[in-house]
Chain A
């Protein structure tokens, strides 16, 4: 029986980008379905009744939720090509630790950078840079977070790179000035086909954020 793989996504989501990258790394054919998050359709609500969020990965009719869980699932179901997680339990634990760190620490501050003003925005900027510096330190001189091979932690973080131009524009700062090694890492990642296919252009994201700010009444 041929595998049926569907991805419900919303193109600017840095979380949805993760799952796209994982699927592309494994060269899995999937049906990409763009969702309108302001007008959620019944299929999305049926597949993710608990959180009503994207991305939703549907494999042979069964929904898998949460982007990091989806990466692990994809790695376990399609192990033959481009392993996304290390096989050593300790290395795997380290990868999951940093994935969890990215989930908990990156998104929050970025919302303040493009969504707030004054002190709140400054606080968001400060925290964002601190968090990026910790990640940069963890990266060290490695090519990717996992070492020689592109994997889980790289996938967890790289989607945010497509939003960097927007953060820099609204926050008036330069990520490269603060974290040059991280930018070098990001540029290496986007050379990969899976990443190039999955990350939208930065200016599209910036336009999207401008629209979003107008729609929710901040400017």
Chain B
């Protein structure tokens, strides 16, 4: 009946506006201390943007750490640090889960506890295995670099397997592991051009390449990753500095 429909509509409108008010209150005062080029900082921007959370970004100089950063992250003195209503949180994976807990729209973690545990496992794997191993090759040449490339590829093969039959690591849509693995899709793969080594060749990693294409088509990803040209220049400059250091 029209009356019932109107009542339901009014109730829903009340619920929506109450939720919006709560969201607005929660969204107040979100600040992110990060850096332009850091994949760990950018992943937080992706999550906040995905959830429509307005935030103030504060670019940090890691060669000359601000007293604010040291005050907000005295334990690790690193970025990213998220500050929500004056309260700081550090460690990017911890921050991502906090964001998902606090702003429940567009969830990045699955609901099912087992799926959640798997997502957490793979996120850790990307950060603690792939990233650490890939970094061992940075600024190195010859055998040392080749060994790091081989070891990285072995780890990437596991990610390759995970992607079979999936559009994203999170399944049908973007999830925690996709956001974390932008480290591979963007940072690692852009470095290939500069370093001159195809760490992730399409012949060995067709699923990863397919996934990267999917990822780079997602609006929030396009919006939040560093623009390609500027990023490539940045990576090149960094590599040059490292080469100079390693020659010295």
Interface-lining segment among B58-66, B114-122, B232-240: B114-122
A70 to B113, CA, bound (A): 10
Q: Is B158 an interface residue (CB 8 A)?
A: yes
Query: Contacting B98 at CB < 8 Å: which of A73, A89, A101?
Result: A89
Q: Given contacts A64-B114, A97-B89, are A69 and B120 in contact (CB under 8 A)?
A: yes
A100 to B75, CA, bound (A): 12
Chain A interface (Cβ < 8 Å from any Cβ of B): 50, 59, 62, 64-66, 69-70, 72-73, 76-77, 89-90, 92-94, 96-97, 100-101, 134
Q: Which A residues are in CB contact (< 8 Å) with B113? A: 73, 76-77
CB under 8 Å from chain A, chain B span 58-102:
75, 84, 87, 89-91, 93-95, 97-98, 101-102
Chain A CB within 10 Å, residue with most, of B84, B91, B97, B117: B117
Least CB distance, B142 to chain A, in whole angstroms:
29
Whether B94 contacts A96 by the Cβ 8 Å rule is yes
Whether B93 contacts A76 by the Cβ 8 Å rule is no
Q: Given contacts A73-B113, A73-B117, A93-B94, are A50 and B125 in contact (CB under 8 A)?
A: yes
A96 to B99, CA, bound (A): 13
Task: Please report the total number of B residues contacting A with Cβ < 8 Å.
Answer: 22
0/1 interface trace, chain B 112-147, chain A, CB 8 Å (1 if under)? 011011001100110000000000000000000000
Q: Which B residues are in CB contact (< 8 Å) with A93? A: 89, 94-95, 97-98, 101
Q: Given contacts A62-B114, A76-B113, A89-B102, are A100 and B93 in contact (CB under 8 A)?
A: yes
Chain B CB within 10 Å, residue with most, of A66, A93, A134: A93
Q: Which B residues are in CB contact (< 8 Å) with A59? A: 114
Whether A72 contacts B98 by the Cβ 8 Å rule is no
Q: Which A residues are in CB contact (< 8 Å) with B102? A: 89
Q: Which B residues are in CB contact (< 8 Å) with A90? A: 84, 87, 89, 98
Chain B CB within 10 Å, residue with most, of A90, A92, A101: A90
Q: Which B residues are in CB contact (< 8 Å) with A69? A: 117, 120-121, 124
